[in-house]
Amino acid sequence: MSLFSADRKVIIIGDRDGIPGPAIEECVKPTPAEIVFSATECFV
Amino acid sequence: MNYSVIKGSSYVLVNAPDMIIHNGTTQTMERLLNPESEYLKALSDHIRSYDEVVNYLPNQVYIGNYSPEELRKYKQPWHDKKLADESREGKFGEIMPQDEFIALIKIVDVFDLVKLTKEFTDGVREKLKNHKLITDDLLALLKEGEEITEIEGLITDHAAEPIYNKGDLVGCVKRAHDIDPSLKAEVLFENLVSKASAVLAALHLLDKSQINLEDIDYVIECSEEACGDMNQRGGGNFAKAIAEFAGLKNASGSDIRAFCAAPAHAMVQAASLVQAGTFKNVMIVAGGSTAKLGMNGRDHVKKGLPILEDVLGGFAMLISENDGINPVIRTDIVGRHTVGTGSSPQGVISSLVTEPLDRVGLKIRDIDKYSVEMQNPDITKPAGAGDVPNSNYKMIAALGVKRGELKREELNDFIINHGMEGWAPTQGHIPSGIPYIGFAREEILKGSINRAMIVGKGSLFLGRMTNLFDGISIVIEKNYGKASESKSVSEEEIRLLVAEAMRDLASHLQKD
């Protein structure tokens, strides 16, 4: 079973000064996993 | 092209220990949700004294007494590197203690919303008499003060926001309307703090810039607060309110908001206004944010550190017509994070750094210094946010490697030579590109660098109107002298020249 298999639900918390949420989303989208939450946070 | 120039800049900090406890949102939220928390109980033991704040190396860099190069000589962390006998005054500004600042909040309040006790007023009046920028006219606005019972009554019965100094109640800010949430005491307190710290920055700028106050045409304010009423919640305008107190009788102004990127946007707009000839001298100014005091306090306390977010920040900058001397602002080298840029780190850095450089044929290494998000890593690293300036430099360097402008093994040298350690307090807009302007101007005037890029970023998604974030960059450069006025010839002049030539021809024909 891969990390992003169909039975996985993904929560994405991106960092504005690192990798923002939408960029991580794009990487997860080709996998069968379901993105249930994605946000970018500002830690400064 | 006759670019505009940076004629001066100022940087101020205000130590605000009681405001951390009572007005920083991390603490106010904790008090609402978990009033008996261990964090709140431990908080006061982690608050630094004013002397410690003055002798804190990054703060001394902010006001110009230490350079970014000197800061790099000290190994991180810096909170345990105790300096001694440092001055509250710096070449760029000062670090003001809380009591003097509370008096300044009263001074800039034109609606008599701020009430201070008689005892506190008398004490602080004596201190402020020694402040070279607080004139007698300003000092008179402190008035006489009120009885403590009156202030207690306003807090208990009329929802006024208390003002504390060293744990003692010394005053309050009244609400300006019974039910309007935009004019409640808490909002007015925040706005008056922003205004007062901006006025302080403006006074320092005007003191150091040797410009006639009457010559400033326009003020752009770029902090993060919103002033208005329930019908125009962010109506504005701080700029004109600050100009009034700075004595800028001939100035108008407006506010720019773009989360933390607002100062960089303000630079682009001010430079364009001056270059276009719309105004001759534009002041950019911003005060500090009480909400962000102690923002990462939980992590600092958990790790046994002092609360390092104990200062409000402010800055001001003067953009003027080209004088042939001061560094120019290259309005033709502006980078933008556009709606279509996307959010990949590569896309973001390309739009802000390499796209504008490509347009004018410059390479990444042609920029001597990059001023990015200059947050002090002492504050962010213990909170898990890492070294933010360093992360930004790594991304610029990585893009340089990808484009073949740098070799992989040169990456670390690039960060050291073209980057800096962060020294700015996490006041949002304050660290965003702007902290280096003062040093950059000096270094360019000295000839030790030729170009610096200022990069501002803002987290627009926090306002829940878009998922996008934002960024804008601009380059400042050595002044190679004023461009000569282009010789244009009017229609009338052409007619005269033709007439003269015809006369010459006629006289020749007559002679023949």
Q: Which among B386, B435, B119, B345 is positioned nearest to A20, based on CA atoms? A: B345
**DSSP H or E segment with residue A15:** strand A9-15
The domain that contains B11 carries what CATH number? 3.40.47
Residue B488 falls inside a structural domain? no
Q: How confident is the model at residue B220 (pLDDT cuts 50, 70, 90)?
A: very high
Give the pLDDT of residue B486.
52
Choose the mutation target among A13, A17, A19, A42 for the interface with B, i.e. most B CBs under 10 Å: A17
User: Residues of chain A with pLDDT > 90: what percent?
Assistant: 55
Residue B393: inside a domain: yes
User: Are the beta carbons of B44 and B21 closer than 8 angstroms?
Assistant: yes
pLDDT number for residue B512:
61
* pLDDT at res. B182: 97
Q: Which residues contact B137 (CB under 8 A, 6 or more apart)?
A: none
- Does B462 lie at the interface with A, CB-CB under 8 angstroms? yes
**C-alpha–C-alpha distance, residues B117 and B142, integer Å:** 11
Could you tell me if residue B294 is inside a domain? yes
Reported confidence tier of residue B491, pLDDT bands at 50, 70, 90? low
Looking at residue A2, its pLDDT comes to: 83
For residue B337, give the nearest of B447, B468, B453, B512 by alpha carbon.
B468
Question: What's residue B492's pLDDT?
Answer: 62
Q: How far is CA B337 from CA A14, B223, B456, B469, B474, in A?
A: 18, 20, 10, 8, 12
B495 part of a folded domain: no
Q: Would you state the structure tokens that stand for residue B350, as one six-digit string?
A: 């390309």
Asked if residue B306 belongs to a domain, the reply is yes
Query: Looking at the whole model, is its pTM more than 0.90?
Result: yes
Both tokens assigned to B33? 């949700």
- How many Cβ atoms from other residues are within 10 Å of residue B30's Cβ? 18
Q: Which residue has better confidence, B375 or A21? A: B375
Per-residue DSSP letter, B313: E
B289: left (phi over 0), alpha (psi -120 to 50) or beta: beta
- In order, the DSSP letters of B264-298 are HHHHHHHHHHHHTTS-SEEEEEE---STTTTTTHH
Two structure tokens written together for B112? 């008599």
ipTM score: 0.78
Give the per-residue pLDDT at B467. Answer: 87
pLDDT digits (tens, 9 = 90+) for B284-339: 999 999 999 999 999 999 999 999 999 999 999 999 999 999 999 999 999 999 99
CA nearest to B309 within chain A: A44
Tens-digit pLDDT profile for residues B71-90: 999 999 999 998 999 999 99
If one counts the domains in chain B, the total is 1
The verdict on a CB contact (< 8 Å) between A43 and B380 is: yes
Q: What is the pLDDT of residues B101-117, one digit of tens each?
A: 999 999 999 999 999 99
Q: Which residues of B301-319 are buried (b: 16+ CB within 10 A; e: fewer)?
A: beeebbbbbbbbbbbbbbb
The reply to whether B174 falls in a domain is yes
pLDDT-derived band at A20 (thresholds 50, 70, 90) equals: confident
Residues B462, A20: C-beta atoms closer than 8 Å: no
Question: What tokens were used for B383?
Answer: 């909170």
Any domain includes B489: no
- Chain A residues lying within 8 Å of B258, measured CB to CB: none
Backbone phi, then psi, for B470, in 5-degree steps? -145, 155
Q: Which of A17, A19, A20 lies at the smallest CB-CB distance from B392?
A: A17
Task: Give A1's pLDDT tier (boundaries 50, 70, 90).
Answer: low
Tell me the one-letter amino acid at B285. V
B511 within domain boundaries: no
**In this complex, is the C-beta atom of B343 within 8 Å of any C-beta atom belonging to chain A?**
yes
pLDDT at B216 over 90: yes
* Residue B509: alpha-carbon gap to chain centroid: 72
pLDDT (average), residues B127-153: 97
* pLDDT value of residue B501: 78
Q: Are B449 and B440 in contact (CB under 8 A)?
A: yes
DSSP B82: -
**Can you tell me whether residue B142 is helix, strand or coil?**
coil
Are the beta carbons of B459 and A40 separated by less than 8 Å?
yes
Coil vs helix vs strand at B317: strand
Q: Rounded to whole angstroms, how far apart are CA atoms B192 and B103?
A: 11
Q: Which residues of B touch A14 (CB under 8 A)?
A: 343
Residue B489 has pLDDT above 70, yes or no: no
Tokens representing B155 are 């807090």
Nearest CA in chain A to B376: A44
pLDDT in tens, B456-468: 999 999 999 998 8
Residues near B478 by Cβ (< 8 Å), separated by ≥ 6? B327, B328, B444, B447, B450, B451
**C-alpha distance from B381 to closest chain A C-alpha (Å):** 11
pLDDT level of residue B125 (50, 70, 90 thresholds): very high
pLDDT value of residue A22: 87
Are the Cβ atoms of A23 and B344 closer than 8 angstroms? yes
Domain that holds residue B41: 5-477
For chain B, what is the mean pLDDT?
95
Chain A residues with CB under 8 Å of B392 CB are 17
